[in-house]
Amino acid sequence: MAAAAPPPPPTPAPSAPTGLPDSGSDSTPAGHPLFSRIRLATPLDIPYIQKLIHQLAIFEKLAHLSIATESDLASTLFKSQPFQSFTIFLLEVSSRPFENDSAFHSQNFTPIERIINLDHSVTDPEAEAFVNGINGDVVVAGFVLFFPNYSTFLGKPGFYVEDLFVRECYRRKGLGKMLLSAVALQAARMGYGRVEWAVLDWNDNAIKFYEEMGANVLPEWRICRLTGPALEAYRDAN
């Protein structure tokens, strides 16, 4: 099956959008600074990832379809080198600067850190459930899961974003854009042809957000899916 036709080239802009907050004032944070970091997830993050997936399913009104357990995730994720298969960027936030943890630095990806200056501090009612005990008061705020695909029209690989999610109390602060931009940045660095994803047609806020990032929403395409009993029926098909 041919891949979707590539979208038309975006209107030229004065400078390439990164989606990352301006770090020019990082040295002198004002107001209520929120220290944010995007890093590669590890197997130790599976409990947080499973909770985030469940919250995403509730938000998308698809909780009845969310059956993945921590064991399921552990048996299928982190089996290949980053960006060669299923890859997860984890979004973490803190009220204090992050410690320089070399464990998160690798030849594959250097964590992205930014400071977002807010007018008010964030109240996180679920902080205890998402606090990363390995890193002090660092809290897991969201994630993006993506993997390689291929465009026959472009003759290039790309990334498909399966899930993008920021917990409710951290939304509308530029963190979702920061996550998606990190995927786009990685794709560009690897010479890939595009990044694509699906969006629910009722999610007007998300559609507007993606369009503002320069994405072309393709209403003429529909997702086709074989799953559950319909897929299992092919197991013994001749």
- Known catalytic residues? 210
Comparing CA positions, the residue from 169, 181, 191, 173 lying closest to residue 214 is: 181
How many other β-carbons are positioned within 10 Å of the β-carbon of residue 207? Answer: 16
Comparing CA positions, the residue from 98, 118, 108, 102 lying closest to residue 36 is: 98
CB neighbour burial string for 52-64, b if at least 16 within 10 angstroms, e if fewer: bbebbbeeeeeee
How deeply is 47 buried, as exposed, middle or buried, from its count of CB atoms within 10 A (0-12, 13-18, 19+)? Answer: middle
**What is the torsion angle, in degrees rounded to the nearest 10, for the CA atoms of residue 53, residue 181, residue 132 and residue 63?**
-10
Is residue 48 within 8 A of residue 140, CB to CB? The reply is yes
Q: How far is the C-alpha of 141 from the C-alpha of 171, rounded, in Å?
A: 9
Which one-letter amino acid corresponds to residue 117? N
